[in-house]
Amino acid sequence: MKTAISASSIEGAPAAVKKRVTPLRRFWSYRTLVLMCVPAILFFLVMSYLPMPGLYLAFINYNYTAGIFGSQFVGFDNFKFLVTSGALWKLTFNTIAYNLAFILFGNILQIGIAILLNELRKKWFKKLSQSLMFLPFFISFVLVGLIAYNILSYDFGLLNGILKSIGWEPLKTYSNPTIWPFIIVFTFLWQSTGYGSIVYFAAIMGLDSEIVEAAEIDGANALQRIRYIVLPWLKPTFIILLLFSLGGILRGNFGLFYNLVGANNTALFDATDIIETFVFRSLMNNFNFSLGSAVSLYQSVFGFFIVITANWLVKKVSPENTLF
């Protein structure tokens, strides 16, 4: 009888303990981790959640005198104007096309450079290469735009100076929309590849060296080690970075486009106008806050569904690498 009572009390002990672990106690037990998360929580609270009431601007005809909540409510008229004018589709296509090029070519180059750095045997040369490739990331977009203008300017550019010196006709670069997608993608890759490769290089550093040494003993050459060991090891990192990138696929790099092309060069709109430059013109030139807010809301909602869809597809193929 005593044995039975003792056994039942032991079996019931975990449940009783679980009941006593309140959310407040659990919070206190993880207080160090919570404290470390406070800066990030405050950042997203202030920068992402507190401005959300401003989304109401997208559904009104904003009037300066009446204010946000005193202006006329127009429902989806701002979105209707964007759709019927054709501007929304062009802006969406340009923004997605550029970001896909950035993501595709950027990740390929970053992975390639990280692998090449890992294969270098001279430590001093490896550190020097990392520093030189990392340097463009710290150059301001304003300076990048100035350098590009001094190279591509029709009257004073270095490129046209060389062409004139050999008897060729100068190029009207800032009125030729066909070449700007290549210039913009090249500039982005030049500035961001070195920084992005650090993430993949750090992931490679986490690879167990004994696995690589065992492959070398078994006769695997460098290409085989990269194909069968390094690339599969980088797969989870690539998927996570890809999902993060897809979340911002409708968020163009405003600093890059504005300083390279400008926001008012109508000759290049078809090839270079993205959502951010359109919103900038709406706010600064036309003072149309409602239209700019409508585009921004569309941008955020569309990006949210892209992340959900991409994460669902990854879950079907590789469940262990999903975000949630």
Question: Which pLDDT score is estimated for 14?
Answer: 52
Neighbours of 189 (CB within 10 A): 19
Phi/psi at 220 (5° precision): -75, 130
Q: What is the pLDDT of residue 185?
A: 94
Residue labelled with tokens 């006329």 = 72
Q: What is the pLDDT of residue 8?
A: 45
d(C-alpha 34, C-alpha 155), whole Å:
59
Terminal Cα-to-Cα distance of the chain (whole angstroms): 50
* pTM for this prediction: 0.78
At how many degrees (to 10) do helices 87-119 and 275-284 cross? Answer: 130
Give CA–CA dist 3/52, Å, rounded.
Answer: 62
Amino acid 293: pLDDT: 83
Question: What integer pLDDT is reported at residue 122 of this predicted model?
Answer: 83
- For residue 86, the 8-state DSSP code is S
55 in Cβ contact with 297 (< 8 Å): yes
Residue 190 tokens read as 């030049």
pLDDT in tens, the chain (324 residues): 444 444 444 444 455 444 567 888 888 888 888 899 999 999 989 988 888 888 888 899 888 888 888 888 988 888 887 777 777 788 889 999 999 999 999 999 999 999 988 888 888 888 888 888 888 888 888 999 999 999 988 888 899 899 888 988 888 888 888 999 999 999 999 999 988 898 899 899 888 888 888 888 888 888 888 888 899 899 888 988 888 888 778 888 888 999 998 878 888 888 898 888 887 887 777 777 888 788 878 888 888 888 888 888 878 877 777 767
Amino acid letter at 128? L
